[in-house]
């Protein structure tokens, strides 16, 4: 016997309510509840178990007997994707890729499919949004070579997808997208919370039990989060976000969760006619349009994972017209701007309380590490004093509330990146100079206080 009941599920966050609500009490969104029918088995409490494609079941195993060396990572041609994934594709992993519509998710995965097929891996590309002809047209545009190991399967029924995986026994499965897939035994609409959760659970069992790598594409909400229940991100091994403005050519790929590597890595691509191209030297891109003798500009050497990147921080300080001064930020934390301006006012004598501040990280990159504090303070002071900084100078350091410049990590890598791009001088924390191997052609100056740094950067 089975019991049937009705429940209402928020399509934005997955909150479940026994009655319809106009506003979700969990996420605060309006008109997001959809009705779903839930069937519970009142007989035996049969629980789902992981079953391989050959019919074998997972059994308990001593950890000393587990051999983790049989399946090394796949090193594909895309070095940027390899870096973000932590060194390559892990067999048996479940990877979720999210991003705005038209940002390049399907393009990236189709290119990855071609690269994996070239390496001899059997790839099944499941598409629920396009026909096989449309995928072939895009593959021809991306100049993906014909290969007898790349299969295209336009299907939305998970039963048919499971049968195809059992017949082909692929090494990699790509599902585009998870919101278009449907579990036949789940009584709800395609794209609902229950469907997304059921499809992802099925794909996770297939990946873990059969050592098949699965990539799934997830739609995003208007707030930028991946649509569906939050448990979706907890179930997968890696969550990648594709960022960027679709009106510009550069795309940023970030890992916000990674069980097999760092979450601080950043991959940078450029959308061209032939698909996504890797950007080998992103620092030159972020600095190529910098104006000479511009006020309110300072260069910082930021670390994105293991990669140093030079980024221009721009600030515009103007007298406030209204009673309360505004603090506007793009690419940096707004609260950090308020903190640094308070330190500048208290420790450097700059009257900023009646000034509006607009601070931006040029190039569309987002910076959140403490090492950008000094460059941000220099750019704000430069705009306030209307004095330009040295265009061949960059700044690295964290600011304390007492005005001290605190040490940051990976200083040697930052200095080498600045020297490689032709900078003559870099201002760093004094305590970070111990044991450094400074390359030729660049002067490294250590400072202990914000006041010392401003005297060097903005001579009056």
Contact between residue 360 and residue 331 where contact means Cβ atoms under 8 Å apart: yes
Q: Write the DSSP symbol of residue 447.
A: E
The answer on whether 106 is annotated among ligand-binding residues is yes
Q: At what angle do helices 373-385 and 334-347 cross, to 10 degrees?
A: 60
The pair of structure tokens assigned to 226 is 């991946």
**Lookup: tokens for 371:** 């090492």
103 is in an annotated binding site: yes
To the question of whether residue 102 is assigned a binding role by annotation, the answer is yes
Asked if residue 169 lies in contact with residue 140, where contact means CB atoms within 8 angstroms, the answer is no
Q: Which two tokens stand for residue 303?
A: 């670390």
Residue 105 known to bind ligand: yes
Q: For the sheet with 33-41, list strands across it.
A: 16-17, 2-10, 33-41
User: b or e along 410-437 (b: 16 or more beta carbons within 10 Å of the residue's beta carbon)?
Assistant: ebeebbbbbbebebebbbbbbebeeeee
- The DSSP annotation for 277-329 comes to EE-S-HHHHHHTTPPTT-TTEEEEEEEETTEEEEEEEEEEEEE-SSSSPPEEE
Cα separation, 133 vs 140, whole angstroms: 11
Mapped onto helix, strand or coil, the DSSP state of residue 222 is coil
State yes or no: 439 annotated in a binding site. no
3-class SS of residue 173: strand
101 is in an annotated binding site: yes
* Residue recorded with tokens 């049937």: 4
Q: At what angle do helices 334-347 and 450-457 cross, to 10 degrees?
A: 90
As a whole number of angstroms, the distance between CA 332 and CA 300 comes to 13
Of the candidates 73, 261, 263, the residue with the CA atom closest to the CA atom of residue 253: 263
Give the β-pairing of 405-406 and 123-127: unpaired
The closest of 146, 428, 448, 147 to 300, measured between CA atoms, is 428
Binding residues, as ranges, are 99-106
Binding residues for ATP, as ranges, are 99-106
């Amino acid at each position: 016997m089975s019991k049937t009941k009705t429940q209402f599920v928020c399509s934005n966050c997955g909150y479940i309510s026994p009655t319809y609500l106009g506003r979700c009490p969990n996420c605060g969104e309006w008109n997001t509840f959809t009705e779903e029918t839930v069937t519970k088995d009142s007989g035996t409490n049969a629980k789902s178990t992981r079953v391989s494609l050959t019919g074998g079941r997972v059994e308990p195993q001593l950890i000393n007997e587990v051999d983790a060396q049989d399946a090394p990572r796949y090193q594909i041609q895309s070095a940027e994707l390899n870096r973000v994934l932590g060194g390559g594709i892990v067999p048996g992993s479940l990877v979720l890729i999210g991003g705005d519509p038209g940002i390049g998710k399907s393009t990236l995965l189709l290119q990855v499919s071609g690269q994996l097929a070239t390496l001899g891996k059997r790839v099944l590309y499941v598409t629920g949004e396009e026909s096989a002809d449309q995928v072939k047209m895009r593959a021809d545009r991306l100049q993906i070579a014909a290969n007898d190991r790349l299969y295209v399967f336009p299907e939305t029924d998970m039963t048919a997808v499971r049968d195809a995986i059992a017949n082909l026994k692929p090494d990699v499965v790509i599902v585009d997208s998870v919101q278009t897939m449907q579990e036949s035994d789940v009584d709800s609409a395609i794209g609902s919370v229950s469907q997304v959760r059921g499809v992802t659970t099925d794909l996770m069992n297939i990946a873990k039990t059969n050592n098949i790598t699965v990539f799934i594409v997830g739609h995003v909400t208007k707030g930028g989060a991946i649509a569906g229940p939050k448990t979706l991100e907890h179930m997968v091994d890696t969550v990648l976000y594709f960022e960027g403005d679709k009106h510009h050519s550069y795309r940023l790929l970030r890992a916000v969760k990674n069980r097999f590597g760092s979450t601080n890595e950043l991959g940078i691509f450029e959308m061209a006619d032939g698909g996504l191209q890797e950007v080998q030297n992103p620092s030159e891109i972020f600095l190529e349009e910098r104006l000479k003798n511009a006020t309110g500009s300072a260069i910082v050497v930021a670390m994105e994972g293991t990669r140093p990147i030079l980024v221009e921080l721009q600030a515009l300080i103007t007298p406030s017209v209204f009673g309360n001064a505004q603090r506007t930020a793009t690419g940096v934390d707004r609260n950090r701007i308020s903190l640094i301006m308070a330190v500048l006012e208290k420790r450097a004598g700059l009257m900023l309380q009646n000034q509006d501040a607009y601070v931006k990280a040029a190039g569309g990159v987002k910076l959140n590490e403490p090492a950008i504090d000094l460059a941000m303070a220099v750019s704000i002071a430069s705009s306030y004093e209307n004095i330009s900084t040295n265009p061949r100078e960059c700044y690295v350091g964290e600011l304390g509330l007492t005005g001290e410049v605190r040490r940051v990590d990976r200083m040697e890598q930052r200095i080498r990146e600045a020297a490689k791009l032709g900078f003559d001088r870099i201002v760093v924390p004094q305590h970070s100079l111990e044991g450094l191997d400074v390359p030729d052609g660049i002067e490294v100056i250590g400072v202990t206080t914000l006041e010392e740094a401003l005297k060097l950067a903005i001579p009056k």
